[in-house]
């Protein structure tokens, strides 16, 4: 049992565990202390000073986020001194902040704006420092816009990039009035190690880091009568979009999402889940092929373990950080890009549409997908396979712009074809989901039986642990897979690039042996993606994960190879997994990148 | 509180041929005994903040853990302070002896001198002395060695937690406290960080004893102190004086006969105008100083003095916390605007309020002390700031 500490906050007694901060103790009394630099996912910084409180008997105010409680402390969160200091601090932040709120992308979603409202900082007392600073906006990245004039130096992005992602593309540079958040030698964002994961955006309290939005481009495409606009939606969008439109975290809004997209005017509303299932067919087959090459043929050039390749943040990370492990990466494109390549080929053919008149839009929980869509590797249809990538947040803006009352929409179904989905595809949205979906299919291919887990739920690969491992014994296999008889397939799952780095280091150094490894760049997997609704927290991500697994259990088909449209596409177009057409459209290779 | 008379003493720079003997004799003593004597002596940290040195050592000794460190803060960056340079140049063995006594007391095996980047010219000689002293420690059976680390030029790294961050290879930014370095310092191990002069004083106390030491100074400010005297003075340089004299006595001795104000304690200290010289004691009952004493005569514009300090802080704030980073910019831009008549004179009152918020809301001593110079200059020389 932890030691308990007694203190008073605003003269109210409270007893909390030792190690609790003043901020947390105040929450237990339902006293809210405003914060800016503090974030549940990150270490304590204590640098914005907005949360300062008075400790009776102390000369200075204390940052409540950073100060642990002590016995008999007397804390005042709303004394004259605290109010004056807090208001001054907010005014100082505003004096350094480009407060063009009505023109700002984050207008109405800005934590600094909320505080300014709360403290009614109407008359700007201090001198506007913004014109003196000669800020420029870094628009070089296809995913992330960095506008230093909006930055309040809380370093949430810096901590996100270092602690959660182990990338450190952003760090504090210079000091004093020159202090800023900078990339390596102030190089533009598209030249540095940034993986475009967008986790910094999810935690930026202001408009300093936002996604590059393509809302107007998509509207233009929709309004253009000569264009056939197809839209695909990623699995994680359906369990998060609701948060932007009036629902509590964890609401499943799949049917409303489809209905809204139709009302926006997309010509076909299709599902990335379809190509998630296709990914399982291709990737599962690739894994079995690799295992055979290594175990039976003794092929020294085939790399194991095989890594998943769905997460474009992860792809750029491995290109920069572990280029020596690139041969281990599955050659499968991500579901988004498989979809893009098929939309402008198979789909166009079947619908009799000229692919040059098609605009392919995807709704993603992800900002790295924006970058992925622009990769030179992603033009196998003869065109840019995916034209515009919108985040969950951008879609919510469009829905609001169109005057759609989202909460009141009747559920609708995806168009067919390339709209059919399975439970296996849905769980792509959660960390461990690709692994689980792959195992459901691969195990059945090899043994002819379902995976030996109750209700198909492979729980060892689920959860929010940073790195998870599981071993699955393969017995009584079909004759053509006899080389796998009795084999113990070892798998690992990591989410968040800091965890990925830890796992990759162990693999590179020969300290960990696996056959198959799933990596997702973002904490919690795609459901915690950089394009998802803000705010994010462990509790919110947990809710979204529960929704994903509920969606899976609620679907009639829960194995990728049983998706009737998957059966159809192999029959009509692709012939077989890893076949000639698959290689052309669905697979690719990545190259090492520089490390800065 | 009675002020002492100005008295020059000679302990620190006395020819150093006793350090090893002092160390030999002290190593035979019990750690608690050393701490008791140090607390009894009343020695407060000589870097400026004035924490009771004996208490700091006691906390570090009592902190859990086998690995502990001793760090000598030689990042002497306070404008107008140059006494640590003098010490390291002339009597480095006393510093190392003080560090060794500390190591013996708290149970540390490794020590570092964190040397200001601009003092690299001292490194060659220092290294030779360190090598020699490390040998002596071994001979005396003390498992302790000292090595050298360099600062990179940031003023804030004189703040002990920023110094530790810098030593760990990170950007030097002050940490949240608690935990304090005595429980979680360098590499998260219990660490004593003391100023160069503080270690010398520890060495002196070990030699002459607390009773003798206590004969100097006042109740709140025991002992003697090195003063770096500069500006419009009759003699400039480093002087060792008993603590507790009035500023009037000090100016009498060091002024040029036309002293208008003295900045006590450097840019982070207080500006005292002539009319308050008599009532100002130099020490913890009046105005403490890390050693910097800058004398200004009637030819000096106090606007320029203040502007110069604010320029310094605007640049040397680490930039992490809001009150200090933005506050410094507002203070300097604010007095410029008042000078140019773009803001009314009354705006100075807003700025004084701001400076007072910085004093209570900033994360570390740097931001907390910007207001000292600002408020004392604006309140005493308002006319010079406005016109």
Same domain, A199 and A221: no
Nearest beta carbon to residue B320 from set A47, A127, A178: A47
> Could you tell me if residue A324 is inside a domain?
yes
B77 interface with A at CB cutoff 8 Å:
no
pLDDT at res. A1: 64
- Cα separation, A148 vs A141, in Å, equals 15
Nearest beta carbon to residue A95 from set B313, B330, B343: B330
- Cα separation, A348 vs A268, in Å, equals 12
B363 interface with A at CB cutoff 8 Å:
yes
Same domain, A178 and A260: no
> Could you tell me if residue A87 is inside a domain?
no
Q: Which of A20, A44, A78 is the last residue of a domain?
A: A78
In 3D space, the residue among B191, B126, B137 whose CA is nearest the CA of residue B161 turns out to be B191
Same domain, A307 and A200: no
Nearest beta carbon to residue B326 from set A68, A96, A125: A96
Mutate to test the interface with A, among B158, B340, B361 (most CBs of A within 10 A): B361
B111 interface with A at CB cutoff 8 Å:
no
> Could you tell me if residue A275 is inside a domain?
yes
Same domain, A131 and A225: no
Same domain, A274 and A408: yes
Q: For chain A, what is the mean pLDDT?
A: 96
pLDDT at res. A121: 85
Same domain, A434 and A543: yes
| Residue A123 confidence class, pLDDT cut points 50, 70, 90 | confident
> Could you tell me if residue A532 is inside a domain?
yes
- With CA atoms as reference, the chain A residue closest to B321 would be A47
pLDDT digits (tens, 9 = 90+) for B236-270: 999 999 999 999 999 999 999 999 999 999 999 99
Q: For chain B, what is the mean pLDDT?
A: 96
In 3D space, the residue among B202, B225, B290 whose CA is nearest the CA of residue B4 turns out to be B225
pLDDT at res. B3: 85
B107 interface with A at CB cutoff 8 Å:
no
pLDDT digits (tens, 9 = 90+) for B129-149: 999 999 999 999 999 999 999
Over residues A567-588, the mean pLDDT reads 96
Which domains, ranges and CATH numbers included, belong to chain B? 19-214 (3.40.50.11540), 224-297 (3.10.20.600), 302-379 (1.20.1440.230)
A47 interface with B at CB cutoff 8 Å:
yes
Positive or negative torsion for Cα A289, A291, A297, A303 = positive
Provide CB contacts within 8 A for A142, sequence distance 6+. Answer: A190, A196, A212, A370, A371, A373, A374
pLDDT digits (tens, 9 = 90+) for A32-45: 999 999 999 999 99
Residue B1 reports pLDDT greater than 60: no
> Could you tell me if residue A45 is inside a domain?
yes
> Could you tell me if residue A105 is inside a domain?
yes
The CATH number of residue A65's host domain is 3.10.20.740
> What is the bridge-based pairing of β-strands A358-364 and A388-391?
parallel
> Could you tell me if residue A513 is inside a domain?
yes
- Cα separation, A99 vs A151, in Å, equals 11
Same domain, A163 and A304: no
In 3D space, the residue among A383, A391, A337 whose CA is nearest the CA of residue A359 turns out to be A383
Mutate to test the interface with B, among A116, A126, A129 (most CBs of B within 10 A): A126
Assign residue B197 a region: left if phi > 0, alpha if psi is -120 to 50, beta otherwise? alpha
Q: Which residues of A are catalytic?
A: 283, 286, 310, 330, 369, 372, 377, 526
For A574, the 3-state DSSP assignment is: helix
Same domain, A115 and A59: no
* Inter-chain touch A153–B320, beta carbons under 8 Å: yes
* Inter-chain touch B322–A61, beta carbons under 8 Å: no
Same domain, A271 and A200: no
- With CA atoms as reference, the chain A residue closest to B180 would be A67
End-to-end Cα spacing for chain B:
38
B326 interface with A at CB cutoff 8 Å:
yes
pLDDT digits (tens, 9 = 90+) for B177-186: 999 999 999 9
* Inter-chain touch A60–B368, beta carbons under 8 Å: yes
In 3D space, the residue among A57, A74, A79 whose CA is nearest the CA of residue A12 turns out to be A74
Residue B353 · residue A205 · CB < 8 Å:
no
Same domain, A205 and A223: no
pLDDT at res. A532: 98
pLDDT at res. B16: 83
Positive or negative torsion for Cα A398, A401, A406, A410 = negative
Residue tagged 């900078």 (tokens): A182
Q: Which of A211, A226, A248 is the last residue of a domain?
A: A211
Over residues A494-505, the mean pLDDT reads 98
Q: Which domain holds residue A9?
A: 4-78
DSSP state of A467: E
Residue B335 · residue B306 · CB < 8 Å:
yes
Residue B63 reports pLDDT greater than 80: yes
The CATH number of residue A151's host domain is 3.30.70.20
pLDDT digits (tens, 9 = 90+) for A517-552: 999 999 999 999 999 999 999 999 999 999 999 999
Residue A325 reports pLDDT greater than 70: yes
Residue B226 · residue B81 · CB < 8 Å:
no
Over residues A398-427, the mean pLDDT reads 96
* Inter-chain touch B357–A96, beta carbons under 8 Å: no
Mutate to test the interface with A, among B320, B324, B337, B368 (most CBs of A within 10 A): B320
Provide CB contacts within 8 A for A409, sequence distance 6+. Answer: A255, A256, A259, A260, A263
> Could you tell me if residue A84 is inside a domain?
no
Residue A241 reports pLDDT greater than 60: yes
For A311, the 3-state DSSP assignment is: coil
A11 interface with B at CB cutoff 8 Å:
no
pLDDT at res. B221: 94
Share of chain A above pLDDT 90, in %: 96
Q: Which of A185, A211, A237 is the last residue of a domain?
A: A211
pLDDT at res. A595: 82
Same domain, A246 and A344: yes
pLDDT digits (tens, 9 = 90+) for A174-223: 999 999 999 999 999 999 999 999 999 999 999 999 999 999 999 999 99
Residue A428 reports pLDDT greater than 90: yes
Q: What's the 3-state SS for chain B?
A: CCCECCCECCCCCCCCCCHHHHHHHHHCCCHHHHHHHHHHHCCECCCCCCCEHHHHHHHHHHCCCCCCEEEEEECCCCCCCCHHHHHHHHCHHHHHHHHHHHHHHHCCCEEEEEECHHHHHHHHHHHHHHHHHHHHHHHCCCCCEEEEEECCCCHHHHCHHHHHHHHCCCCCCCCCCCCCCCCCCHHHCCEEEEEHHHHHHHHHHHHHCHHHHHCCECCCCECEEEEEEEECECCCEEEEEECCEEHHHHHHHHECCCEEEEEECHHHCEEEEHHHCCCCEECCCCECCCCEEEEEECCCCHHHHHHHHHHHHHHHCCCCCHHHHHHHHHHHHHHHHHHCCCCCCCHHHHHHHHHHHHHHHCCCHHHHHHHHHHHHHHHHCHHHHHC
Residues of A in contact with B357 (CB under 8 A): 84-85, 88-89
pLDDT digits (tens, 9 = 90+) for B287-339: 999 999 999 999 999 999 999 999 999 999 999 999 999 999 999 999 999 99
ipTM comes to: 0.95
- Cα separation, A118 vs A102, in Å, equals 17
Number of domains present in the structure of chain A: 3
pLDDT digits (tens, 9 = 90+) for B98-130: 999 999 999 999 999 999 999 999 999 999 999
A248 interface with B at CB cutoff 8 Å:
no
Same domain, A182 and A281: no
Residue A431 reports pLDDT greater than 90: yes
pLDDT at res. A417: 85
């Amino acid at each position: 049992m932890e030691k308990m500490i007694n203190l008073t906050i605003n003269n109210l007694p409270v007893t909390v565990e030792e190690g609790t901060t003043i901020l947390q103790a105040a929450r237990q009394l339902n006293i809210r202390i405003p914060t800016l630099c503090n974030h549940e996912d990150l270490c304590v910084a204590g640098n914005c000073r907005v949360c300062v409180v008075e400790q009776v008997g102390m000369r200075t105010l204390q940052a409540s986020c950073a100060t642990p409680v002590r016995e008999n402390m007397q804390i005042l969160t709303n004394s004259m001194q605290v109010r004056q200091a807090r208001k001054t601090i907010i005014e100082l932040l505003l004096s350094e902040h480009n407060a063009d709120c009505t023109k700002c992308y984050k207008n109405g979603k800005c934590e600094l704006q909320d505080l300014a409202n709360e403290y009614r900082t109407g008359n700007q007392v201090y001198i506007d420092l913004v014109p003196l600073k000669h800020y420029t906006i870094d628009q070089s990245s296809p995913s992330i816009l960095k506008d230093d004039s909006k930055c309040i130096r809380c370093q949430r992005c810096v901590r996100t990039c270092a602690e959660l992602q182990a990338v450190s593309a952003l760090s504090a540079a210079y000091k004093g009035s020159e202090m800023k958040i900078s990339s390596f030698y102030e190089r533009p964002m598209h030249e540095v190690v940034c993986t475009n994961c967008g986790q910094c955006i999810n935690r930026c309290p202001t408009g300093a880091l936002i996604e590059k939005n393509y809302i107007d481009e998509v509207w233009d495409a929709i309004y253009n009568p000569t264009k056939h606009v197809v839209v695909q939606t990623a699995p994680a969008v359906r369990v998060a979009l609701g948060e932007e439109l009036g629902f509590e975290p964890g609401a499943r809004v799949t049917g409303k999402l489809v209905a809204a997209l139709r009302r926006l005017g997309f010509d076909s509303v299709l599902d990335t889940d379809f190509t998630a299932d296709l990914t399982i067919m291709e990737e599962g087959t690739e894994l079995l092929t690799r295992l055979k090459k290594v175990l039976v043929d003794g092929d020294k050039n085939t790399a194991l373990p095989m890594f998943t390749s769905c997460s474009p943040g992860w792809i750029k990370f491995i290109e920069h950080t572990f280029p020596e492990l690139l041969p281990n990466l599955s050659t499968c494109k991500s579901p988004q890009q498989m979809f893009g390549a098929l939309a402008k080929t198979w789909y166009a053919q079947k619908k009799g549409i000229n692919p040059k008149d098609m605009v392919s839009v995807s709704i993603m929980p992800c900002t790295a997908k924006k970058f992925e869509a622009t990769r030179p590797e992603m033009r196998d249809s003869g065109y840019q396979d995916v034209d515009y990538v919108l985040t969950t947040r951008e879609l919510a803006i469009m829905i609001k712009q169109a005057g759609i009352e989202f909460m009141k929409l009747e559920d609708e179904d995806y168009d067919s074809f390339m709209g059919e989905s399975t439970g296996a595809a849905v769980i792509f949205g959660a960390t461990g989901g690709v692994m689980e979906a792959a195992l459901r299919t691969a195990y059945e291919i090899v043994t002819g039986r379902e995976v030996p887990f109750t209700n198909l739920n492979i729980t060892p690969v689920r959860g929010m642990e940073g790195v998870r491992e599981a071993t699955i014994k393969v017995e009584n296999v079909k004759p053509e897979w006899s080389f796998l008889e009795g084999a113990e397939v070892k798998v690992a799952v990591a989410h968040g690039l800091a965890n990925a780095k830890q796992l990759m280091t162990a693999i590179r150094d020969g300290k960990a042996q696996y056959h198959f490894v799933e990596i997702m760049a973002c904490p919690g997997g795609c459901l915690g993606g950089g394009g998802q609704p803000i705010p994010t927290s462990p509790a919110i991500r947990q809710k979204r994960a529960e929704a994903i697994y509920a969606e899976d259990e609620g679907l009639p088909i829960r194995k990728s190879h049983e998706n009737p449209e998957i059966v159809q596409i192999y029959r009509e177009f692709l012939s077989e997994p890893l076949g000639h057409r698959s290689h052309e459209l669905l697979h690719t290779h990545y190259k090492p990148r520089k490390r800065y | 509180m009675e002020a002492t008379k100005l008295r020059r003493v000679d302990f620190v720079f006395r020819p150093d041929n006793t350090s090893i003997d002092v160390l030999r004799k002290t190593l035979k003593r019990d750690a608690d005994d050393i701490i008791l004597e140090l607390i009894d002596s009343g020695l407060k940290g000589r870097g400026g903040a004035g924490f009771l040195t004996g208490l700091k050592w006691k906390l570090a000794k009592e902190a859990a853990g086998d690995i502990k460190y001793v760090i000598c803060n030689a990042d002497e960056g306070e404008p107008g302070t140059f006494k640590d340079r003098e010490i390291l140049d002339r009597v480095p063995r006393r510093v190392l002896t003080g560090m060794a006594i500390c190591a013996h007391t708290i149970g540390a095996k490794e020590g570092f001198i964190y040397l200001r980047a601009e003092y690299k010219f001292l490194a060659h000689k220092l290294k030779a002395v360190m090598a020699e002293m490390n040998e002596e420690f071994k001979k005396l059976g003390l498992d302790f060695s000292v090595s050298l680390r360099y600062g990179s030029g940031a003023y804030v790294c004189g703040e002990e937690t920023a110094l530790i961050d810098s030593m760990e290879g990170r950007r030097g930014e002050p940490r949240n406290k608690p935990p304090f370095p005595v429980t979680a310092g360098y590499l998260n191990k219990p660490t004593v960080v003391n100023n160069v002069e503080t270690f010398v004083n520890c060495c002196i106390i070990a030699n002459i004893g607390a009773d003798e030491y206590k004969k100097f100074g006042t109740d709140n400010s025991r002992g003697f102190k090195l003063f770096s005297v500069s500006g419009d003075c009759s003699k400039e340089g480093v002087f060792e004086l008993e603590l507790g004299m009035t500023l009037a006595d000090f100016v009498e001795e060091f002024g040029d006969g036309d002293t208008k104000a003295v900045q006590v304690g450097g840019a982070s200290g207080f500006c005292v105008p002539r009319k308050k010289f008599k009532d100002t004691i130099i020490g913890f009952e009046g105005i403490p100083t890390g050693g910097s004493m800058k004398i200004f005569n009637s030819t000096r514009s106090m606007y320029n003095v203040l502007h110069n300090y604010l320029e310094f802080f605007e640049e040397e704030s680490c930039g992490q916390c809001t009150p200090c980073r933005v506050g410094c910019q507002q203070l300097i831009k604010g007095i410029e605007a008042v000078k140019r008549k773009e803001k009314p004179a009354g705006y100075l009152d807003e700025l004084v309020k701001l400076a007072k918020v910085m004093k209570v809301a900033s994360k570390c001593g740097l931001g907390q002390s910007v207001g000292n110079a600002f408020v004392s200059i604006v309140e005493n020389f308002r006319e010079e700031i406005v016109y």
